[in-house]
Amino acid sequence: MEICHRHQSSTAGLLSALRRLYLSLYNWTVFLGWFQVLRLALKTLSESGHQHVYNAVERPLLLAQSAAVLEIVHGLVGLVRSPVTATLPQIGSRLYLTWGILWSFPETRSHMLVCSLVISWSITEIIRYSFFGMKEALGFAPSWLLWLRYSTFILLYPTGITSEVGLIYIALPHMKNSEKYSIKMPNKWNFCFDYFYAAIVALGIYVPGSPYMYGYMLGQRKKALAKAKGE
């Protein structure tokens, strides 16, 4: 029995170490991706203007944002304790903006809102991934980084959401004219889908969804900072 217990303990310790190693590598890799996005965005903004920011950041933006899909997987398999119900809508909306709007409709890419979107996202993610990267690698994160992790969204979430809504709205006429991703009747599936109206529904979801997420994050902030003070 004692040998069996030791074996189980050793296996659990190994799995825990592998989990921490994987999550640490994941967080720092995505951190570097977002750092590259911010660096290129600021450099291009100062040298060439906002019209060229998207072209400069496209590749690292697509990679860094798409990597966030793994966070949903992490929640589903129990690697992290974050609820999938909170993670899914946030990541889903960002993937929609990244691939479904900016990548799909080039007409939106030169708008000033792309800058506010990219800068809001990248600063938020740089802080978030460095915070979790340090926690997984070292077992703790400095108090100033914890404060940034749970405070910068107060400003950056509204600027990011405003940019998202604005870019979807700007893309609407291009969706309607191009009919991209729409499925018309008749067809062999007997099914129709209009991307333009789906985007309008998405805009409608932002109305109740954004205040809910903001309130959820304020609640998380209160808990995290209270816990840090208690420690």
What is d(CA 14, CA 43) in angstroms, rounded to the nearest whole number? 43
pLDDT for residue 10: 67
Token couple for 171: 């893309």
Active-site residue set: 157, 164
Which residue ranges in the chain fall short of pLDDT 50? none
Domain range list for the chain: 26-230
* DSSP-assigned letter for residue 52: G
Cis upstream peptide for 89 (omega within 30°): no
Residues 216, 221, 222, CA angle at the centre, nearest 5°?
100
Q: Can you give the pLDDT at residue 139?
A: 86
Helices 153-178 and 195-230 pack at an angle, to 10 degrees, of: 170
Residue type, 112: M
Q: Is the dihedral of CA 222, 94, 185, 178 positive or negative?
A: positive
Using CA atoms, how far apart are residues 5 and 119, in angstroms rounded to an integer?
Answer: 51
- What is the Cα 74 distance to its own chain's centre? 14
pLDDT digits (tens, 9 = 90+) for 180-201: 999 888 888 888 899 999 999 9
| Residue showing tokens 């929640």 | 75
Question: What's the confidence (pLDDT) of residue 155?
Answer: 96
Return the pLDDT at 13: 76
Task: Say what the pLDDT of residue 227 is.
Answer: 86
> Distance between CA atoms of 110 and 53, rounded to whole angstroms?
8
Distance (Å, whole) CA 61 – CA 67: 10
Q: Give the per-residue pLDDT at 5.
A: 56
Q: How far apart are CA 165 and CA 211, in angstroms?
A: 14
pLDDT given for residue 11 in this prediction: 76
183 phi/psi in degrees, rounded to 5? -120, 120
> What single-letter amino acid sits at 141?
A
pTM over 0.75: yes
